[in-house]
Amino acid sequence: MALYIGVDVGGTNIACGAVNENCEIVARSKVKTNPGGSGFPVYKEVVGQIETAVRQCCEAAGIAPEKAASIGIGCPGICNSDTGFVEFASNLNFVNVPLRLDIEKAFGVPVYLENDANAAAFGEFCAGAAKGAKNAVIITLGTGVGAGIIIDGKIYRGSNYAGGEIGHTVIEVDGEPCSCGRRGCFEAYSSATGLARMTKRAADEHPESILKDVIKEEGKVSARTAYTAMKRGDAVGKAVTERYVKYLACGIANVINTFQPDILCIGGGVCNEGDTLMIPLQKAVREQIYSRNSSKTTKLSVCSLGNDAGVIGAAMLFKG
């Protein structure tokens, strides 16, 4: 059975998996993404780290890297899948680097390059919560808001390979500042970072709340804090979670109204809240979508692959 190598490049780790034709990971490896003296990884060192991860993974799978059917790489930033260059990746300090070409030279097998959020979305489409769909959108609520769009079974990249930046659509004009330079972005409100910011502000403004007790117990403010307080009957924690759902539903409804996908999946740590998050979110989204009276409406679901989505999606890039 053919094996496809998937590489998920992150600012901290490079995860690698050998994936079979059934989208099952049969071997894994992980290598640290070591920062250089400037605090950013040095490109040539990252190439070496990817090569190491691939070799270790293939050894665990019992094959030579040169015998892999293909290698797929999911990398942060603007990844030109035609030229094989990472045109820009801010958290890696990459500018116009020939990543695909360098990995092809190292192993002599077909290599595919894609933005990491797109690769993770493709993983959910091939083997996860969006499997069987024709059109899908996958949104990850983490430090920021990442997204991938699948149209007619293919990754939508945009004319400049920067398509799908749903996190940087504005849902509150002149709202909270965003790392991209705009104000009021979906990411500024609906990311785990945004939820933590809202929670901290509420704790400071309402000393009578138990939020500060929960923060002390957890050792930090996180996306879980307000939900923990809410479950203990705290009115301020409940208000924070309701405000978060309001913003999240607004952004998701915008996406559904634009693309009308078969399914929209969300992932990230906040999804661990399960029905506590999803039931009010589904209700709020249903009330806002233009197609609410249609015979077919978009299914809203939670991603199912977790951190494996990026590796599986990268391995399957030869399909997308």
- Please report the pLDDT score of residue 117 as a whole number: 93
Structure tokens at 184: 């009021």
The superfamily CATH assigns to domain 132-302 is ATPase, nucleotide binding domain (3.30.420.40)
- Please report the pLDDT score of residue 34 as a whole number: 77
Tell me if 217 sits within 8 A of 152, measured CB to CB. Answer: no
Ranges of CATH 3.30.420.40 domains, the chain: 4-126+308-319, 132-302
pLDDT tens per residue, range 77-127? 999 999 999 999 988 889 999 999 999 999 999 999 999 999 999 999 999
Distance from C-alpha of 55 to C-alpha of 71, rounded to nearest angstrom: 12
Structure tokens at 231: 């479950």
H/E/C letters for each residue in 189-250? HHCHHHHHHHHHHHHHHCCCCCHHHHHHHHCCCCCCHHHHHHHCCCHHHHHHHHHHHHHHHH
pLDDT tens per residue, range 148-177? 999 999 999 999 999 999 999 999 999 999
Residue 215 — φ and ψ, nearest 5°? -60, -40
Structure tokens at 196: 């933590």
26: how many CB neighbours lie within 10 A of its CB?
Answer: 16
Classified as helix, coil or strand, 61 is helix
Tell me if 291 sits within 8 A of 300, measured CB to CB. Answer: no
CA angle 160, 161, 167 (to 5 degrees): 110
- Please report the pLDDT score of residue 293 as a whole number: 85
Mean pLDDT by 10 residues, the chain (320 residues): 94 95 97 78 93 98 97 96 94 93 97 96 97 97 93 95 94 94 96 96 96 95 96 97 98 97 96 96 96 90 96 95
Give the chain's end-to-end CA distance (angstroms, integer).
20
Which residue matches tokens 């490049």?
A: 9
Domain spanning 4-126+308-319, CATH class: alpha beta
Handedness of CA 12, 54, 6, 42 (dihedral sign): positive
- Please report the pLDDT score of residue 37 as a whole number: 64
